[in-house]
Amino acid sequence: MNSKLVECVPNFSEGRRPEVVQQILDAVRAVPGVRLLDYSSDASHNRSVVTFVGEPQAVKEAAFRAAERAMTLIDMEQHQGAHPRIGATDVIPLIPVGDTTLEECVVLARELGQQIGEQLQIPVYLYEAAATRPERRSLPQVRRGEYEGLKSAIHLPERQPDFGPARMHPTAGATAVGARPPLIAYNINLNTADVAIAKAIARSIRGSSGGYPSIKALGVLIEDRHLAQVTINVCNYKEVPLTRVFETVRSEAARYGVQIVGSEIVGLLPLEALLEAASFYLRLEHFQPDQVLEQRLQR
């Protein structure tokens, strides 16, 4: 495995016509050095999420070609769906993998945004770590008003795109291009069915109510197990690692006489996030990821 890799998870505003999604996937597959890892379509959202990975320039090329293909196949004037969206290629996050840094993904996002803006004449907004204005770090802020609202507001100075024309593309609308750390979906289960306790713990850890800025959390009831769960997005595991989330939840739960019965990782996570957990609890000194045999064998 090359250690300079980028993951790309673009979202397209088409979740009902599989043949359209396949043509977009074909555009990605056609780029050498890019591996399509996953895709899924949601009919009620009328939206598809695609995951691919590769070397930075190959990923940029695949994302550009997919956006170009989506522009010719999706008409935002006809689009309806439950999920917020501003364009045919709605959002393109670039995520560092291996030795790639977030800063390298920011540079790549700006190159990709410029290419889409100039060559496809689609207005592009840079968001999260790639944002050029503080208020655009937040994707919901960038998507405010959605396709229809942005169409009538794009001429305003505060809605000027970072690249491309200050008017919506006639079929493709606009696109948000950003860079962000890998997100870890992490759930912690409690030995209580009292969802109010899970909600209180969620409030204590999440950024929106004064907790860790990079943590999103909700308290929910898992009915078939009769237990309350704190369901968490760890949005920057280098800033706030799994161990700190776990230990904070443990400590807050103890306040109610409640214990953690288990936790679960939903989907994928970077190796580094698990090595951090082992290092934290075993108090490892001087541990290097290339001491992992499987990592060494990839050299």
Binding site for a copy of itself (CB under 8 A): 1, 5, 7, 35, 37, 53, 97-98, 182, 189, 242-243, 246, 260-265, 267-271, 274-275, 277-278, 280-287, 291-298
In angstroms, what is the minimal distance from the CB of 7 to a copy of itself?
8
Q: What stretch of H or E contains 95?
A: strand 89-98
169 classed as catalytic: no
- Which of 103, 147, 95, 140 minimizes the C-alpha distance to 123? 147
Q: Which residue's CB is nearer to a copy of itself, number 121 or number 263?
A: 263
In angstroms, what is the minimal distance from the CB of 281 to a copy of itself?
4
* Three-class SS state of 272: helix
DSSP for 58-77 reads HHHHHHHHHHHHHHHH--TT
Catalytic residue from among 83, 155, 169, 226: 83
Sorted by sequence, the CB contacts under 8 Å of residue 167 that are 6+ apart come out as 123, 154, 155
- CA–CA dist 126, 89 (Å, integer): 14
Q: Which residue's CB is nearer to a copy of itself, number 6 or number 112?
A: 6
In angstroms, what is the minimal distance from the CB of 247 to a copy of itself?
10
In angstroms, what is the minimal distance from the CB of 273 to a copy of itself?
8
Q: Which residue's CB is nearer to a copy of itself, number 8 or number 150?
A: 8
DSSP for 163-196 reads BS-SS-BTTTB-EEEEE-PPPEEEEEEES---HH
Q: Which residue's CB is nearer to a copy of itself, number 155 or number 225?
A: 225
Please give the positions annotated as active site: 83
